Amino acid sequence: MSVSVRDALRMAALYLVLSLLWLLLSEQVLGTFVDDPQTLVRGRHASACLWVVVSAGLIFVSRARLLNFMGIGAQLRREDRERLRMAAAVFDSTLEGVLVTGRDGVIVHVNRAFMRITGYQHDEVLGQRPSKFKSGRHGAEFYQGIYSALSKKDEWSGEIWNRRKSGEIYPQWQTIRAIRDDAGIVSHYVAVFSDISAIKHSERELAYLAHHDPLTDLPNRLLFNDRVEQAISLAKGNKRGCALLLLDLDHFQSINDGLGHTIGDQLLKLVGGRLRDILGSAGTLARLGGDEFAVLLENCQQVGQAAVLAQRVIDQMKEPFAFDEHRLFISASIGISLFPADAQSAEQLLRNADSALFKAKNNGGRACYALYTEELTAHAQHRVETAGELRRALEQEELQVFFQPVHDLSTRRMVGVEALVRWEHPQRGLVSPAEFIPIAERTGMIAEIDAWVLRQACGQMMRWQAQGRALEFVAVNISSRLFGHRELYEQVAAVLHATGMDPALLELEVTESAIMEEPEVALEQLHRLRGLGLRLAIDDFGTGYSSLLRLKLLPVQKLKIDQGFVAGLPTDEDDIAIVRVIIALAHSMNMQVHAEGIEQAEQANLLLEQHCQLGQGYWFGRPVPSEQLRWD
């Protein structure tokens, strides 16, 4: 019986009791205070009327209360039904699978998401047990842990692998709860789960990306270091050796700068594929970053094995890479370090290979390999220290621009100067360019240095002009790094505008090798620079294997004979023949000829006899600061 009905019955009982008390009281009161019978009759009549009124009121109130309670009960029943309908809708439309079992573990209900995820229909699982979906990946201890948690906490959550109707095993994140009745006895179990296959797939992808290069799909530095450490550990246990080959593409930056990073990336993918083909299953190949690759050779007992592979890689890299409309040629330099001869740890092995690589790149023509030696460690440490000091020198203005005079060979008059960078170290004094320029090129600082020298040289030229010092030009060297930058044109134009210098007074010198690396890009760059009205010269001519067909298309006004050919004059017949050919070639193309490295009067005289117009070298004057330049 509901609470509201009991309240109504209590009200009716109270009404009867009050009615009887009313009758008794009315009789006694009237009999006590009224002696006249007629008056008593009239009193009883009035009492009866009052009783009827009071009774009617009590009955009305009681009935109203009873109906009100019954209405609330109906309202409550309607709300319960509404809540049940809402719960059923949520149960059936949720994206998580839901499975309900009785206390005996028999399935009594599943929702639509359960059927979608597992592939089973409603009538295929009712009356079955959840063990129907076991994957076989979990042992008895796993399930005992679930039962233990349910008995202690009424709940278990965790990752579990189950099997779909198709037989596919898949991962779930599942929560199981025990449902107890009013007596506290378990009546049902409810399992709610979601398919986490997509999450697992994403985790595998992230783990792959964390250990592989996304461009080439090769192991990255992190995974490679781990494999090197494992290889060294095995080699120590088995008393074997292993080798590490560090490979760097020569002049790759010029491809990125000239053709764009998209072409550069495509080339790196092709290089990675070619290296895979060369290496096969002989070792581990990785891309460490940029254009740097590494090869780990396990069970490599002799340096000869590593050297043979290095040479094969170098030879194969010389073959052209063709894709889209491009046909690119590139070479590679390799440094080799051995365990246990050169290093005892993965870090040391990689560091020593890097030192050997630096040696290979500075051997001249590149496209070669070098073996690590103990002397390279000191050189590498010195190189790192010098690079840091050079960066500081740029920031603290320790660099200086020296000027070397250029003379007209026929009049012996100074007609121009070449701007050359020098480094005045606060402790070491004047540092040789042969020491810091290669380091600046390797670290990329050379482009920043070139731009700084250009600004300083143009500024100094304007000061000389203001002093009435008549010079026809100031020559500035442009490294291949800066020449490969497409923004070189904007940089030069900005310097000319800032200083107000006549472009005809500026001569930019570009090495023959820089032009021949990417002839099409170089041709475009030179034409744009020539459009500014400045002069262009090819430096170190005769050392870069120029194509005469391309040479005649270049908008240059001067060829500079490399000092290596001038040094043998006037006695070396081969040098004399080469100088004659270069001068004749320049004249046939209406170019000036400028000889470098003149140290003797005999050299200057022979060059003049061969109609070389300009010359510079110690015989005319050494590079000096601007204030020490002689004008007589």
Domain spans in the chain, listed from the N-terminal domain onward:
3-92, 94-200, 212-372, 386-628
pLDDT over 50 at 550, yes or no: yes
Does 8 score more than 70 pLDDT?
no
Angle between helices 488-499 and 445-466 (to 10 degrees): 30
Residue 80 is predicted with a pLDDT of 58
pLDDT band at 388 (very low <50, low <70, confident <90, very high): confident
Instruction: Kindly state the tokens that stand for 104.
Output: 């005996």
Q: Give the pLDDT confidence score for residue 30 in this predicted structure.
A: 43
Query: Residue 360: is its pLDDT beyond 90?
Result: no
Q: How far apart are CA 135 and CA 197, in angstroms?
A: 14
pLDDT of 322 higher than 80? yes
| 179-204 pLDDT per residue, tens | 998 888 999 999 999 999 888 888 88
- How far is residue 612's CA from residue 27's CA, in Å, rounded to a whole number? 156
546 — pLDDT class (breaks 50, 70, 90): low
SS3 of 76-92: the string is HHHHHHHHHHHHHHHHH
Strand, coil or helix: 554: coil
Do 278 and 329 form a contact (C-beta atoms < 8 A)? no
Cis peptide leading into residue 340 (ω within 30°): yes
**Can you give the pLDDT at residue 301?**
72
| Residue 68 CB neighbours (<10 A) | 13
DSSP states of 8-61:
HHHHHHHHHHHHHHHHHHHHHHHHHH---HHHHHHHHHHHHHHHHHHHHHHHHH
Residues 455-496 pLDDT 10s = 999 999 999 999 998 899 999 999 877 787 778 899 999 999
Q: What is the 3-state secondary structure (H, E, C) of 157-189?
A: EEEEEEECCCCCEEEEEEEEEEEECCCCCEEEE
Considering only the C-alpha atoms of the chain, give the largest distance between any 2 of them, rounded to a whole number of Å.
174
CA-nearest of 197, 133, 130 to 165 is 133
Q: What is the pLDDT averaged over residues 498-521?
A: 86
- Residue 56 pLDDT exceeds 60: no
The pLDDT > 70 percentage for the chain reads 81
Query: What integer pLDDT is reported at residue 549 of this predicted model?
Result: 67
The whole-model pTM stands at: 0.50
Do 94-200 and 212-372 share a fold? no
Question: Angle 133-139-145 (CA atoms, 0-180°, nearest 5)?
Answer: 90
For residues 503 and 533, is the Cβ–Cβ distance under 8 A?
Answer: yes
At 366 the three-state DSSP class reads: coil
> What would the DSSP string read from start to end of 451-507?
HHHHHHHHHHHHHHHHTT---SEEEEEE-HHHHT-TTHHHHHHHHHHHHT--GGGEE
CB 391 within 8 A of CB 445: yes
- 401 pLDDT band, cuts 50/70/90, is very high
Strand ranges (DSSP E) for 366-426? 369-371, 399-408, 413-425
Task: Please tell me the number of Cα atoms within 13 Å of 412 on its side-chain side.
Answer: 6
Higher pLDDT, 416 or 241: 416
Separation of first and last alpha carbons in the chain = 128
How many other C-beta atoms are found inside a 10 Å radius of the C-beta of residue 328?
16
Q: Are 461 and 492 in contact (CB under 8 A)?
A: no
Strands 592-595 and 332-339: unpaired
Q: Thinking of the domain 212-372, which architecture would CATH place it in?
A: 2-Layer Sandwich (3.30)
Say how far apart CA 441 and CA 477 lie, in whole Å.
13
Q: Which helix (H) or strand (E) holds 542?
A: none
Position of tokens 């020449």? 483
For residues 295 and 245, give the distance between their C-alpha atoms in angstroms, rounded to a whole number: 5
Q: At what angle do helices 433-443 and 374-395 cross, to 10 degrees?
A: 80
CATH class of 94-200: alpha beta
pLDDT above 50: residue 32: no
> What pLDDT does 59 receive?
54
CATH of 386-628 among 3.90.1150.10, 3.30.1960.10, 3.20.20.450, 3.30.470.20: 3.20.20.450
Structure tokens at 365: 């023509």
**Segment holding 270, helix H or strand E:** helix 261-279
pLDDT score of 12 more than 60: no
CA neighbor of 607 nearest in space, from 568, 571, 566: 566
Backbone angles phi, psi at 475, to 5 degrees: -100, 135
DSSP category for residue 212: B
Tell me: pLDDT of 36 over 70: no
- The structure tokens listed for 167 are 């037989």
Question: What's the gap between Cα 174 and its chain centre?
Answer: 35
Higher-scoring residue by pLDDT: 7, 76: 7
* Side chain identity, residue 376: L
